[in-house]
Amino acid sequence: MHGTLAIAASRLSRRKVLANAFDLDEERTVRHVELTRDIAALVVAPATANVLGKFAHGVADDLLSTFYTAVTAPVVVAPAMNTRMWQHPATQDSLRVL
């Protein structure tokens, strides 16, 4: 999330919006790792085919997928995509892995 979108999300939520997986907080800790210590669960909704594939195969190249790899709490995904994408063998493989 960059620029105008991050600003809008921050204003709507009245919270700081993380946009970079490697943002540091005031204590110079890596914020996305620090945040994983205080959560009861990670809920990803909607979970796209792209997100499911990244999670299933350990691809951590953005804030969400990097956060996922650091989470030790239970993870709940709510897949959302069209029927053909849902039925695609790669998506089904990702679901089996997860």
**pLDDT band at residue 39, thresholds of 50, 70 and 90?**
confident
pLDDT digits 0-9 by tens, 59-92 = 998 888 988 999 999 999 999 999 999 999 999 9
Cite the DSSP H helix spans in the chain. Answer: 3-13, 31-35, 49-57, 63-70, 83-87, 89-97
